[in-house]
Amino acid sequence: MFKSNGYAPQLIAHKHPKSAAAEAYRVLRTNLGFAALDHPCRSILVTSAGPEDGKSTTAANLAVVLAQAGNKVILVDCDLRKPVLHKIFEVENHRGLTNCLLQNLDPAEVSKNGLVENLTLVTSGPIPPNPAELLGSGRVRALWPALLERFDYLIVDSPPVLAVTDASLLAAQVDGVILVVRAATTRVEIAREARDQLLKASARIIGVVLNQVKMPARDYHYYYYYHRREKEEEVRL
């Protein structure tokens, strides 16, 4: 995934679709296809062991590349403790998931379209006092099948597994879970603990994303060459 350099935009797959990072998200999209060979995998939870591992960034960019491939995608912010998808997509968050659940609204009434073609965003809405209770409720369980009737993919962002129970509750409600591991800082035993907790919650872990990998300089030369070629091709067209 993209190098931590302090200035890469979080929605890089949309803003810089020809970047190496966007290509990495497309590889993730391809790998999702392999995970779905034996079991359907249309609802996907993105989580990680601890805070700031890159869950929201991964969820947002995965949703973008799936939408770019022509799939109808809905991205839902189920981090009801520290929601950020509205910030990543630069939209307001007055109404979202919590309004939909508490006021029994149709998700279409609170969703945002047109930010990226084929992509619908449901922001968190106002933060509730009881996120875990809400996310474990029958209303949330009923929401996913209803959304999968209208969309090809459902991508769910969540809080860290080891901090609160929310992600484990959600993990049991989706087809597959992507576990984000922050290279260099997530300790192996912490990642294992998160994995075990998800498995205990009956999650199907479909893959691990190694995020914020420091790339050797020679790899940058490769990407530079690759993107130069893309630019030349654009000019020729």
Site for ligand ATP in 2-21 (CB under 6 A): 2, 4, 8, 10
Determine, following the binding rule CB under 5 A, whether residue 14 of this chain makes contact with Mg ion: no
Q: List binders of ligand ATP among 43-72 (CB under 6 A).
A: 48, 51-57
| 162 contacts ligand ATP (rule: CB under 6 A) | no
Strands 119-122 and 112-113, by their bridges, are antiparallel
Tell me whether residue 7 or residue 92 sits nearer to ligand ATP (CB atom).
Answer: 7
Determine if 55 is a binding residue for Mg ion (CB under 5 A): yes
Minimum Å distance from CB 77 to ligand ATP?
A: 10
**Considering the complex, what minimum distance in angstroms separates the CB of residue 51 from ligand ATP?**
4
Angle in degrees, CA 175, 177, 182, rounded to 5:
170
What is the distance between the alpha carbons of residues 9 and 78, in angstroms, rounded to a whole number?
22
Q: DSSP characters for 139-190?
A: HHHHHHHHHHHH-SEEEEE---TTT-SHHHHHHTTSSEEEEEEETTTS-HHH
Instruction: Write out the binding residues for ligand ATP, residues 165-194 only, by CB under 6 A.
Output: none
- Could you count the other beta carbons within 10 Å of the beta carbon of residue 4? 15
Cα 165–Cα 168–Cα 172 angle in degrees, nearest 5: 145
Q: How many residues bind Mg ion (CB under 5 A)?
A: 2
Binding site for ligand ATP (CB under 6 A): 1-2, 4, 8, 10, 48, 51-57, 79, 82, 84, 160, 211-212
